[in-house]
Amino acid sequence: MTITLPITKARAQLTNLVEKADKQLQEYVITVNGVPAAVLISAAEYESWKETLDILSDPGLMQVIRKGEEDIKKGKFITFEQLKKDLKLRV
């Protein structure tokens, strides 16, 4: 759940907000004069968003992902169990 709060309240509760963002993955929209100005999220969530953006902005990678999705729909894949068997792995 995303909570919106004014910057004055965020400033007064910053330590608590950071802890909740980090431990409980809480999200905060911080407003200035009633207008959204910033978002407080956990560092892990931020890194995840950056990684997703990197993937989505790479046309070659997106093409490979789409091809993989098409192959799955067509049944053109092997299971992990089959891969282990084919490679004679004991995992």
- Find the length of the chain: 91
As a whole number of angstroms, the distance between CA 15 and CA 28 comes to: 13
Query: What pLDDT, on the 0 to 100 scale, is given for residue 91?
Result: 74
pTM: 0.70
| Ordered structural domains, the chain, with CATH | 2-42 (3.40.1620.10), 45-86 (no CATH)
Which tens digit of pLDDT belongs to each residue from 41-77?
Answer: 999 999 999 999 999 999 999 999 999 999 999 999 9
Q: Are 32 and 53 in contact (CB under 8 A)?
A: no
Mean of all residue pLDDT scores within the chain: 96
| Core vs surface per residue 13-51: b (16+ CB within 10 A) or e | eeeebeebbeeeebbbebbeeeeeeeebbbeeeeeeeee
Which residue from 73, 49, 52 is spatially nearest to 61, judged by alpha carbons? 52
